[in-house]
Every structure is written in C-alpha cells, then in structure tokens.
Structure 1
Amino acid sequence: MDWVAWHDDYANPGSVLSGRLAVVRRIIREVLDDLPAGPVRAVSMCAGQGHDLLGALATHPRRGDVRARLVELDPRNAAVAEEHARQAGLPGIEVVRGDAGLMRHYRDVAPADLVLACGVFGNLTDTDVLRTVEACAQLCREGGTVVWTRHRRPPDLVPVIADWFSARGFEQTHLSDPAAGFGVGAHRLRHPPKPLPGPDRIFTFIPEKQPPPP
C-alpha cells in the first residue's frame, strides 16, 4: 500500500473520500465553535497528511487556541502534514512520527477536547475497534468529542461502533446516513475520563491490499 498515493482522492470533488472529508471538517469546526474560550487540545490517530484537522483549522477563528498532536507512522505523510501546518501558519500543531496504536504517544496530551480516529477503524479487527473506543474514554476530557470514520461495506459495523460509544458514556452528536456511502460518527463524553494507566498497545493497524472505502 502506498499511503501517500492513497490521499489522492481527497483532491477529487466527486470521490467518496472527498465527501467524507467535507463532513469531518464541518464537524470539527462545529466542535470548536461550541467549546468554551481558552486553549483547545486535540489528538489525531493515524493522521496521514492531516487534511481533516489542518483543513478545518486553516480559516477557523479559534485556530490559534488549538494545540494538537498528529501521530502518523509513514514518514512521507508526516512530512507533508508538517509542511501543511507550516504553510497554514499553525504553530500549535505537533506531528509525531510513530505507531498511532501506542498509548504512549497520547498520555502527556490527554485528556483532549477533540480526538480524531479517521481512517482507522476500517483497518482494525473488531476487537481492536472496541479497544480503541474504550481508549477514547481515556483520551477525551469530560465534554470532549471523538470524530471517527468507518466504511459501510457489509457487514456494516458503523451502528455497532456507535452503540459501543454510547455504552461507554458517550452521547452521539452525529452519525452519517448509510446512503452517504461512508460512515462518519461523532460522540461526546458525558463523564470524567477514565484513568490512563493500562496496556500501551491500543490497536494494530492491518492495511488491506487495496485502499478501503472510508
């Protein structure tokens, strides 16, 4: 898998990836609009080139409040994300080149106001998806929001993931219609975060041979 070329469809206005990106950016901007004044913390798992968060922040009035950590294993994508952040004038963005499935990359920035798990759940076993949902209850502050994506190929796990979040104290604020061709969810934590100590490994990324639908 060439994870740099995988991003090419973001530039195609008619692609599923482009449509998903627009929804994710809109949700991020809405989350920022609703947060109280002051610093904002964000983390992004498997951040790729950072199109979602960096694109949402580029013209947002609270761009200067955001301190974010983007974790990406592919060094080429990480370099692109760093350059995008520089060009957009976003000094609060930190790109970490490492395995996003390790909790060690998030402990010192959690709990966060915004957690992004976009392009992640389609490349995990169901067991690791559930484990990541549980980790999000550690990574979010009370009132913090997780934005996540998943393809809608059968068997469609999107409704199950939404139920997993709800069962762990999250309130659903968005779930895309199946007719959209992609799954985007947003869930807000309704209670204080769980303690962070625990296993370091959250998930193991298992890429498919072909780029999965989002």
Structure 2
Amino acid sequence: MPKDWYEWHDLYDTEPKLQQRLEIVQEYIAYSLNASPSGTIRVVSVCAGDGRDLLGTLKNHSRAKDVSARLVEINSNLVERGRATIESLGLAKQIEFINGDATLATNYVGAIPVDIVIVCGVFGNLADEAELNRLLDNLSFLSKPGAFVIWTRGDSNGITYSDNVRKILSASGFEEVNFKLTATGDMGVGLNRYRGENLAAPKEQQLFVFSGIPSKAR
C-alpha cells in the first residue's frame, strides 16, 4: 500500500486501470485543446499530482504554446517532479506549479476563469454527495462559460459512483460531452462543458474538503 501520494502516483507504472484512466484523460485534454478558440487557452488542474495528464498531452500537441496553466498540488515531491517535466518541455514561462492546498480559492486567484478545468482523482476522495455538490458549486468560480471540465470517479463494490456524478454534473449546469469507462470497467472518465455563468467570487473560500488517503484512494 502506498504511504503517501508520491508513492501512489508511482502506481501508474503498474496499475492497468490507472494507465487506462490516464489515456482517456489525455484524450479529453487533447479534445478540449483542439476545441478551444484561437489564442491563449487557460487551464487549471486541481490536486494536480505531478501533472502527467496535462504535461503528457502537451508534449506532442500542436497548441502547447497557447496554453497558460496553473497546477495546484500540496505534495512537494510531486510538485518538484512536475516542475522538472515543465522545464524539460520548455514550458516554464507559461505553466506554473503551485505547491499549495488545492481546496483553497486563493491558490487560483490570478489564473481564472479558465477554458479547461482538470479535476481528476478528486471526486472519489470527497466524503459524500453534499461535498461533491459543494465542489461543483465552486467550480463555477474557476470556469468560463463554455469551459471544459475533465473528471474521474472510480466504481467499486458493484456501485456505479460515476453514474451518480454524471447525473449531478448535468443537473448543475455541466453538460456532458463524453464519458468512458476504462477497459477494467471500474474507473469512469468524463468530459463536460459548463453552461452557466462565471462567479466573480467563490461561494466559500474553501472550495471543498479533500478527505482521501493514499492507501484507500478511489
């Protein structure tokens, strides 16, 4: 069992469902980049890990130089690894990696609203549906009208948690564009588009409470 989130991210080297999830997430990021208007594409990644989803996509994407991104992650080792990748890609002037608490609105000020919100590995680490709704309410603070939102949610014990997320997102103004399950059948990846209005200020300074632990990550 991984003892921290840095070790958890190393599971991408061995776990098929995580590898398959990453592949779909990167597919959706590429789609969102392609569908964005000409000019700067603003991106934020919530609980970004080492940023491999976005950075892996930008490595070979024709619009990489259009991206202005902020990645927020609390684990300093993951941030260090992500920053090294950014340097290697020559994107240091346009992508910043914040070593901070992704639940706090202050860590996004100056980078929002954005065209693409990446909120992967988060929904399954919220305590309950009420906490999910709280985060979705506050996503309106991060998102431009028409912004793409890319998310993940694991299913387990015969419960399709991802279907519940899809319903709540649709009811909250996030229109579904695409959804796929991994080949393992237990990890959902969604692509939605925000059809509401941007909020000038968050409803709460703490956008959500992250309650997951690496050994039981969902």
TM-score range, shorter chain: over 0.9
Aligned to 1:133: 136
- Which amino acid letter does the alignment assign opposite residue 87 of structure 1? S
> Higher mean Cα deviation, 85-94 or 172-181?
172-181
Q: Give yes or no for contact 1:9–1:15 (8 Å, CA) kept in 2.
A: no
Task: Please give the root-mean-square deviation of Cα atoms over the aligned residues, in Å.
Answer: 1.6
Q: 1:184 aligns with which of 169, 174, 189?
A: 189
Aligned to 1:81: 82
What runs of 5+ residues in structure 2 fail to find an aligned partner?
none
Which of structure 1's runs of 4+ aligned residues deviate more than 4 A?
A: none
**What TM-score comes out, normalization by structure 1 length?**
0.93
Aligned to 1:95: 97
**What TM-score comes out, normalization by structure 2 length?**
0.91
Aligned to 2:73: 72
Aligned to 1:53: 54
> Higher mean Cα deviation, 56-65 or 175-184?
175-184
> For each residue in 1:165-209, what CA deviation from the matched residue of structure 2 results, as whole angstroms up to 9, or x when unmatched?
111222101122376320111110123223324311111221236
Percent identity among equivalent residues? 35
Measure, in 1, the Cα distance between the counterparts of 2:79 and 2:205. Answer: 22
Aligned length: 212
Aligned to 1:207: 212
Q: Give yes or no for contact 2:74–2:101 (8 Å, CA) kept in 1.
A: yes
> For each residue in 1:2-48, what CA deviation from the matched residue of structure 2 results, as whole angstroms up to 9, or x when unmatched?
21111112223x61101000000000001101111100100001101
Q: Give yes or no for contact 1:107–1:196 (8 Å, CA) kept in 2.
A: no
What runs of 5+ residues in structure 1 fail to find an aligned partner?
none
Is 1:144 aligned with 2:147? yes
> Higher mean Cα deviation, 95-104 or 123-132?
123-132
| Shift, 1:212, TM fit | 2.3
Measure, in 2, the Cα distance between the counterparts of 1:197 and 1:33. Answer: 29
